[in-house]
Structure 1
Amino acid sequence: MEISKRSRVWIYQSNRPFSSQEEQHINEKLGAFLSQWEAHGNKLTAKATIYYNRFIVLMVDEELAGATGCSIDKSVNLMKQLEQELNISLFDRFNIAYRDASGVASCDRGEFEKLITEGKVTKGTIVFNNLVQTVDEFEQHWEVPFKLSWHEKLFGSLIPA
């Protein structure tokens, strides 16, 4: 399905990677949800993808019908249901994802600060900007070097000289 670059994006990051069985379960739930997702009786043109066994990305093309508060609430409720079913956390904004030698990792804010001061996270480390709001931003600015992200503003002073 083609989706506009201006489509809205919501990123839900898990506190741990999904198993293949969990990923299959999530995809089934997402498929069922998207097939009936509406806003005020209008079918939403939407897409959902799992990235790196850890991120659930919802995209809604609002050119035909826009997401509303009620329709967004329904997607949030689905994510909360997945949290319960899989014993994961998808709403922890202090869970920070980054790339390391083994792939995509995440940790809490305190551990991330420690990794910076130890030199394990540097200005060149790829971090995930889950604050992007459109498909275009997602494609251009989701995976970015630390030095070009909001992480720099918050944690940059911790980087050893």
Structure 2
Amino acid sequence: MFVNFDEIPEDAKVWVYPSSRKFYPNEIPEIEEKIKTFIAEWKADDASFKASYQFLYNRFLVITADDITTPLKNSDIDDSVAFILSLQETYEVALLDRMNICFKQGEFVQYKDLKDFKKLLKNKALTGKSIIFDNLITTKQDFENLWEIPIEESWYSRFLK
């Protein structure tokens, strides 16, 4: 069942999908409608299942599901991955590439591969104070507290040396 993001417990599962490009304003309403439809139909046979999403910076799709009250099966995860793959194909973006890094540069969100990210650090275009998005977080609590943090406070800090 689709619920407000705030109704999902702190220990719920979270998946962050960064897009390889910013979504265009004319794409966003359609994407959000597809996400809401997917969540409403995801595990529709289980009335106690709750899930939600956030669409942030016109680039990040964040899906959360209360897997504590209603455990997710492998087939449920497969359904969500199939949905994300369909978005990738429809909008010609990468959403599942975990080897790329997202960070803020001024007011803009950048999406770079690891090699380019390391070059930016080496050339001092980014510093330890630069904001990075940790898209590998797994719980709603981590999303709310550790997703958007300075590089020096993240696991990416090992690249500062």
Identify whether the pair has TM-score above 0.5, normalized to the shorter chain: yes
1:17 pairs with 2:18 = no
Secondary structure of residue in 1 paired with 2:31: helix
Aligned to 2:81: 76
Indicate the percent of aligned positions where both proteins have the same amino acid.
33
One of 100, 108, 111 as aligned partner of 2:113 = 108
Give the RMSD, CA atoms, in angstroms: 1.3
User: Which stretch shifts more, 102-111 or 144-153?
Assistant: 102-111
Aligned to 1:42: 46
Cα deviation 1:80-116 (Å, max 9, x = unaligned):
0000000000011222100111321111112111111
Aligned to 2:160: 156
Distance 1:51 1:85 in 2: 19
Q: Which amino acid aligns with 2:130?
A: T
TM-score (norm 1): 0.91
One of 135, 146, 152 as aligned partner of 1:141 = 146
Distance 2:100 2:26 in 1: 23
Cα deviation 1:59-96 (Å, max 9, x = unaligned):
00124312211111101000000000000000112221
1:67 pairs with 2:72 = yes
Aligned pair count reads 155
One of 79, 96, 101 as aligned partner of 1:96 = 101
Structure 1 runs of 4+ with >3 Å offset: none
TM-score (norm 2): 0.91
Gapped runs of 5+ residues in structure 1? Answer: none
Cα deviation 1:41-63 (Å, max 9, x = unaligned):
42420001111111100000124
Note the 1:112-127 alignment, pairs <5 A.
Answer: 112-127=117-132
Distance 1:130 1:96 in 2: 8
Secondary structure of residue in 1 paired with 2:117: helix
Gapped runs of 5+ residues in structure 2? Answer: none
Secondary structure of residue in 2 paired with 1:42: coil
Distance 2:148 2:122 in 1: 22
Q: Which amino acid aligns with 1:114?
A: K
Distance 2:152 2:107 in 1: 21
